[in-house]
């Protein structure tokens, strides 16, 4: 039986975690929200951290930036990492700024050798500062680059094998991108090396019939649950969390979704003999 299930910590649920023990094994915090000098966010984080292990998940590292990483950003990230001592530190395989301007979005990369070299260089820079392996998440996308020379899963596999970084597989993002671009989500799962995956994300999306949009504001759909089952069969016992970024419901609703993930994982891992 697996026992590593978490939730994203959101301000709407601070009081729930402060007033009573909740059935989660860890909490994921958005790093960028706490990279500040003092104030209420850090004070709340310190109080909640006293009772729950944490992981850090960033949205602004821009690991695909051709200009290299922002040293000030990395130093602030390191300061937060030293403060809360997370189990791991993650961000996204994307670029999110140009010429010093933040786009506040997770932009996809072309899957080329040139882009791979840039990402590998930047991962080494981040890992040198953090002094630990970085964990990178696949993003959802709505356009493809004609210049791409490999699949997304080949690109992810290459950066992990070259740098020693780990992967955060967002099962919903795989599902969304596979639908939008017409590739096989099963091929994606089977193309990632066993042993390279640190964590799973589960989330919901908006179905616009001819395309899907990764909104993280809906419950997990049946197709994503089925893909999660496939991922468990390949990668085994992997820390899993429900991610909700908008239209955030009461904590009890997210805990019910987390129970569904537990049930699926327990069934799969019992069949695999991992119990």
For the segment 90-101, what is each residue's pLDDT rounded down to a tens digit? 999 997 755 555
**φ, ψ at 234 (rounded to 5°):** -85, -45
Say how far residue 157 (Cα) sits from the centre of its chain: 16
Q: How many CB atoms lie within 10 A of CB 159?
A: 22
pLDDT for 128 equals 98
Q: For residues 6 and 241, is the Cβ–Cβ distance under 8 A?
A: yes
Dihedral (Cα; 260, 266, 272, 275), 10-degree rounding? 170
Give me the domain span that covers residue 250.
5-272
> Which residue in 252, 139, 263, 108 sits closest to 203, CA to CA?
139
User: What b/e string do you get for 16-37 counting C-beta neighbours within 10 Å, with b at 16 or more?
Assistant: bbeeeebebbbbbbbbbbbbee
Q: From CA 262, how far away is CA 3, in angstroms rounded?
A: 8
- 56-74 confidence digits (pLDDT tens): 999 999 999 998 999 999 9
pLDDT digits (tens, 9 = 90+) for 141-165: 888 888 889 999 999 999 999 999 9
| Burial (0-12, 13-18, 19+ Cβ within 10 Å), 242 | buried
Ranges of H-type helices in 103-197: 113-130, 152-163, 171-181, 185-191
* Helix runs in 215-275, H state only: 222-235, 251-272
- In angstroms, the CA 253 to CA 115 distance is 40
Q: In angstroms, how far is the first alpha carbon of the chain from the final one?
A: 4
Rounded CA-CA distance 158/267 in Å is 31
Identify the pLDDT of residue 1. 40
Cα 113 from Cα 60, distance rounded (Å): 23
What pairing do the DSSP bridges indicate for beta strands 134-137 and 95-98? unpaired
User: What is the enclosing helix (H) or strand (E) of 197?
Assistant: strand 197-202
Of 89, 96, 190, nearest to 136 (Cα)? 89
Q: What is the CATH number of the domain that holds 15?
A: 3.20.20.150
Per-run averaged pLDDT (10 residues), the chain, 275 residues: 83 96 97 91 94 96 93 97 97 74 70 97 98 96 87 97 98 95 96 97 86 85 97 97 94 97 95 70
What is the model's pLDDT at position 211?
A: 86
Number of domains in the chain: 1
């Amino acid at each position: 039986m697996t026992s590593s299930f978490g939730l994203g910590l959101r301000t709407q649920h601070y009081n729930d975690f402060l007033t009573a023990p909740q059935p989660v094994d860890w909490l994921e915090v958005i790093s960028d929200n706490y990279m500040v000098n003092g104030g209420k966010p850090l004070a709340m984080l310190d109080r909640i951290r006293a009772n729950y292990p944490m992981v850090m998940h960033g949205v602004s590292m821009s690991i695909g930036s051709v200009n290299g990483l922002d040293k000030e950003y990395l130093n602030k990230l390191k300061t937060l990492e030293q403060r809360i001592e997370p189990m791991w530190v993650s961000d996204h395989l994307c670029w999110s700024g140009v010429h010093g301007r933040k786009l506040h979005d997770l932009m996809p990369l072309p899957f080329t050798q040139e882009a791979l070299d840039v990402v590998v260089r930047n991962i080494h820079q981040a890992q040198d500062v953090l002094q630990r392996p970085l964990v990178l998440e696949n993003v959802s996308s709505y356009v493809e680059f004609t210049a791409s020379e490999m699949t997304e899963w080949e690109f992810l596999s290459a950066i992990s094998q070259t740098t020693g970084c780990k992967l955060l597989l967002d099962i919903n993002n795989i599902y969304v991108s596979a639908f939008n671009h017409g590739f096989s989500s099963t091929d994606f799962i089977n193309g990632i090396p066993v042993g390279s995956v640190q964590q799973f994300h589960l989330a919901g999306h908006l179905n616009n019939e001819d395309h899907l949009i990764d909104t993280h504001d809906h419950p997990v759909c049946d197709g994503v649950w089925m893909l999660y089952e496939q991922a468990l069969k390949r990668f085994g016992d992997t820390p899993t969390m429900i991610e909700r970024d908008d239209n955030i419901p009461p904590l009890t609703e997210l805990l019910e979704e987390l129970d569904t993930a537990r049930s699926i994982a327990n069934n799969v891992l019992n069949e695999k003999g991992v119990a």
